[in-house]
Structure 1
Amino acid sequence: MNLCLELIADELAHYPSHILRRNKISQRRLQMKGVGIYRRGMNFSSDICYMVSAKNVTDRFNCPNNTTLIVIGSVNDGIFERANSDILILEGEMRKEDFYDIFNEISDIFVKYQEIDHRLYEAVSKNEGFEKVVTIGQELFNNPVIIFDQNYCVMNNLDYEIPGVTWAVDPWSGTKILPLDAINTIKTSPEYIHKKSDDGTFLISEDYFPCNMILASVKKNKLRITVAVLETQAPLMESHRILAKYFADFIHLTFNKNYIHTGHPVRFENFLKELLNNHQMEQACIDRYLLSMNWKNTDTYICMTYQTSRWDKVGVVYYNVCTNLELQFPGSFAFYYDDNIIFLVNLTQQGLERQQLIYWLSSFLTEGVFRVGISYDFFEFHTFPSYYLQTLGALEMGEKYAPDEWCYDFREYVFYYFLHYGTSRIDGRHLCFPGIVQLYLYDTKNQTDLLHTLRVYIQCERNAALTVKNLYIHRNTLYQRLRKIETILDADLNDEKVRLFIHLSYQFVEHLSLEPVL
């Protein structure tokens, strides 16, 4: 771990015999690897902190540019006015022995942080676990450390109480979460509002919170975490901002190492699995999880399930496949479930039509020797489990009726599925012909009557004269409506199976007391 002069100054402040004076504004980036003794005429390095005795700093002293300098003893004011360096002065009467004592103290500071750095890297590389990294962080700050997700849910184990902090409880997962008033307090604090810090760290003072707290946020690869250091045991120093940012990068690295297949908070993956396991969840809770992905309940989604029998089912293979899928489509989420890979795509966020998506994925699928089942488009996210079942139904029917193909769209196999299982596995509303749903949505938005027109047309066995008579409309009006209907349906009404399926969809709506919506 490289150090900055700000951090060294805060560490030296623990020694009351030193009087610190920052002659220049210390650089906050971590740059220094060790400490050395200044010698005139030597070659200087920007990653070394040099110590010099005040006795050697005269009016003719030529301070090297772009270096870090610690002066031991009192010097004349203004001697470093034109120096382009980062300088810290330890004032006072100093003996020769003091110089070397301080040199050893600074060397110990470097050793201390190098050891912490080594322990953190070792914990991550050996995959010792998230909680192990948090424990090292608490030793680093001598204060409690809390890891928050994007919604301020606590991600690490808290087996101690934080004075003055009253936690709320997430209704679904049972985890602790900052209450809304505490979140609002953070977001209305001066530093947060004015964003004074340009490195992603903020100080929340005790005027706005029960105790001083430093927050450091990191967002990479769609995963956002926030490290909070609370001042309950030892005073927080300015340099702790730098350390909090440094430590937050390790926490982020830990999550990416363990959950590289998603790049998202594992909490969202667990949320999807809970839905698939038929756990009931309130809509407000669903909305909160969608918000963590910047998704909305009203967005349009499509679900795909990937199967293959030709690979060795090793976790790392699954993770790589999921990662590749998500890299191709940023508005997506892929995860491993029940020996399959489930791939969710937010079509609204992508700005894609389903056929575009399927076309772009075709090469990926054929090269990977995959078989895939594809659901209808859907919204109202609580219905996601039904559309997952559609993908399984598409795979089952596809293997039975078209075993040589690789891509099975449930829209093409739903008729066969219904013949096999009726509505015993999937809710009737989710077996409706997808074009019927689109007609319903179009009528609702535009105050038209295309849904009823199609039903009468099919009941009249496509007899135009009888249809216009029953609808009390002109023949030209009927033909205009039929052209619009065919465009929305994206289906051939001359196909008797299509007509039968549409007729069955109307029966679902009528006899099951359903609305033709997803």
Structure 2
Amino acid sequence: MGEKNGREENGEIPFGLNMQILSDELEALGISHFFYRRDEGCLRGIRFFQKGEKLEEFYVYMVFSDSMQEDFRSCERISFLVLDDLPIERFSFTSSIIYVTGITEHLQFYNQIQQIFFKYEEWERRMCWAMRMENPLDQMLLICREIFGNPLFIHDPDFYILSCPYHTGQMLQWEKAARNGREMVPLETINEFKVDEEYLQTLKTRSVSMFSASLRGYRVLYMNLFDGEHYEGRVCVDEVERGFRRSDYLLLEYVGKMVQACLKKQRLFWLNMGSDVEASFIRILKGEETDAQSISDLLGYLNWERNQHYLCLKLIAEGEEFQYMTPDGIFGHIETQITNGYAFFYEKSIAVVVNLTLEKAEISEILSRLAYFLREGLFKLGASSELFEFDQIREGYEQASVALQYGRRSKSMIWYYHFEDYAMAYMMEQASRNISPRLLVSGVLRTLKEYDEKNHTELYHTLELFLQLERNTVQTAKELFIHRSTLFYRLERIQKLTKLDLEDPGQRQYLLFSFELMREFSKS
């Protein structure tokens, strides 16, 4: 019993057979028998009856003809497999008895019973194993289908499907909820349940019960799940592949206990996880969170997925109003506008991670939603590019920081800055950290500048505009207020001076980068 209690504390609920399970298994084997008096599930094995031995309620005892004169009435709450016609009056009314006829090979029959116990011991072991898996409910229901011979599913109080790993065409077809994309019982069926007296009565039952075939065309064995007085949903078995057995009631009771233990374990985990979400995000931004399981737990808590698209935001306060706002007030304002985001304090600023996939909005729309809050709260905001997986969050926050830094440096009057608007300036600054901008730019530009200064020409500006307009001669001539023939003359002169090959896309890209770097260099 001490071992049993220890296993229950670890969430591993032991399973005991009852005589009804043995009776149903014997029937499946085609062994003729009669069963008297049902019992609770507590059996862990089989033993031969021996006179004078102390009998225990955790075993079923096999009785042979040599015990015909034995009186078993003093054996309270003991289970017997009787292989001869021993009068039932010889047994206590608290005992459960299966009379088996036509058995000649006693040892073979004993082994058959032993195999039944082995079958359910293995089921119990696999159920306890499933409790430790990443998707325990799915694993448990798949294992249970082998025992019940029918598909199982679990739904919550709002009819969302918590688990249904195996679905047949005979079952109800789940619908996708428009609000969150989760599978749920069809709305039409839910509305039928709301006015069905039989269904409304089932919500109060605490034991395994049967729901008739009146609504669905097949029966459903179910067990309601409760946390104290709070209804949490139910686990159901649909009678669509084999007929129900009486023993299915006890089996589903065990499944219900395991599911409740699993849900309780998840609630405790999410309770602890809820207080650790901010700390997890901070570790990610610092580059300290590399444990795959911790990140998986965080995503599970938020109902996010690793390969969804994300956006990082960084906010800082420009005025004193910030210090008078509570964290809940600030985060409440932000999360009212971004329902699929998480906001938290990080290094004297506010970090926001947005799930773009679930938010179903463009970055520009999200920034527009926050404009009023930014303006009224005197905040400035930096936004990353669109991130294509959760693992890019740390780099995305770096992008948001860069956008904020460069945006504020530009003295722009807008309240938010997008990284892509400042990416070129950032790349140029990074490129010139170890090499002077004068040496980074193409020598062609210096050649043209020197030629222009000496000859009072505009070859430098002509080439810059020509490349910016993607070598469109008509548009370039128009912008320069010159004739096209003059433009062709200038381009020919540039080619002779520099030996440029403007058909080479690499050269064109380098020249454009050089022009941009020269502009930034001249500003500084």
Counting helix residues as a fraction of each chain, which structure ranks higher?
2
Larger Rg: 2
